[in-house]
Amino acid sequence: MAEKAKAKGGGKRPDIATFAGFLLAFGGLVGGLLLEGGEITDIAQYTAAIIVLGGTIGAVLVATPLPVALGAMKQMMAVFFDKAVTPDSTIEEIIGYATKARKNGIVSLEQDADAVEDPFLRKALNLAVDGTDLQELRKMMELEISLEEHHAESEAKVFEAAGGFAPTIGIIGAVMGLIQVMKNLENIEEVGHGIAVAFVATVYGVGLANIIFLPAANKIKARVHKEIMIKELVLEGVVGIVEGLNPKLIRSKLEAYAGEGSGNGKKGGKKKGKKS
């Protein structure tokens, strides 16, 4: 049982949608520029990049506690990679434990519980094996779900904040560039070129906000909802084991979660609240 659980555990897979989305977004922008007769060097301005990135990161750090900002940087991996764990594989694992508990009693899961790779499922099973009161078990695990969701939502808001700051910093960068242009009005041939370069900062700010920061925040929220849904599934499965329900009934109950999809994690939480 333990080996089976480990085989179904962690691991990540590339998110094809994210990679394809970035490729299409940047490809469309650069392709449009080239079709209009422009050149890559027209928007490849390292000074504008320094102003926008530096200003945006600085503003985010001012607005966000450092631990949350560092956590948000780690969450960036969730944008490009999705956990391989699925509701279906989790259901099969729980049904395996339910079948064994039904035959040999819940105490027979003691060794299996210690070997479970998923920390949430491991904790829930250990509490069940230790004979924790069902209502207390549910409250403890629901509290853990709520705290994890709160932390993840806070980290997603870091990217939302960056998406709000970046365009404004881009405008500041453009104004700074125009100030330099105005200092050299006597050389009229360079004025047009200088103005064009100045507005690159605006392109960077708006582009970073709408192609990277805001989409990243939404993708992280989607990941969070999926993980919360799976944790709610796990909790309901363990509760079913403690109650001694037939594994077929537990499967029927959990398959509703598999059908909901990642966007409805909170819906399951409301159902649980009515039961407790």
Alpha-carbon span 183 to 235, nearest angstrom: 67
- What is the structure's pLDDT at 112? 84
Give 247-268 pLDDT, tens digit per residue.
899 888 888 877 655 444 444 4
More confident position, 115 or 53: 53
pLDDT of residue 259: 65
Into how many domains does the chain fold? 1
How much is the pLDDT for 276? 36
pLDDT tens readout for residues 12-33 = 788 888 889 989 998 888 888 8
- Domain around 183: 2-275
* Per-residue pLDDT, 205: 93
What's the confidence (pLDDT) of residue 189? 67
Report residue 5's pLDDT band, with 50, 70 and 90 as the boundaries.
Answer: very low
The arithmetic mean of pLDDT across residues 225-239, rounded, is: 91
Residues 190-202: pLDDT tens digits?
676 677 778 888 9
3-state helix, strand, coil in the chain (%, to 5): 85, 0, 15
- Tell which residue, 266, 55, 69, 52, has the closest CA to residue 160: 69
Residue 82, beta-bridge partner list: 13
Comparing 190 with 127, the larger pLDDT belongs to 127
